Amino acid sequence: MQYVRFRHDAYGDFARTERQRKFLKAVVIELLTRTKVTELPKLILFFEPYIETNISDDDMIKLGKLGFEIDRESIDSIQLPPMELIQEKSVNGNAVLYVEPEQVRSYVKSILSDDTRAQSD
């Protein structure tokens, strides 16, 4: 937990969220490697007290089953917004991080269209 929660390095929350994404990817790959589809209901019931969501147990099982169809090597994550779109602005004399909403939309569209093209190749 200290690894994924630590934020006192040069990049603060940005580095922390990167560590969290890496950790979650490792957990997902481990679960997909060691778990059978038939074990999903039991696994979901085990984790349910620790998760706050409006997704039903049935939908979680359906989503979990989809996970078994994913190529483990293709699992990836990105930071939103990406560092190159983040700007520092002054608001009432305070430095805040800001990103233009349209730039984020364009970035997400480009990522999704790249993924779609890569999958169809």
SS3 97: strand
Please provide the average confidence, as pLDDT, over all residues in the chain: 85
Predicted structure pTM score:
0.60
Whether the per-residue pLDDT at 67 is higher than 90: the answer is no
Contact by Cβ (8 Å): 60, 47: no
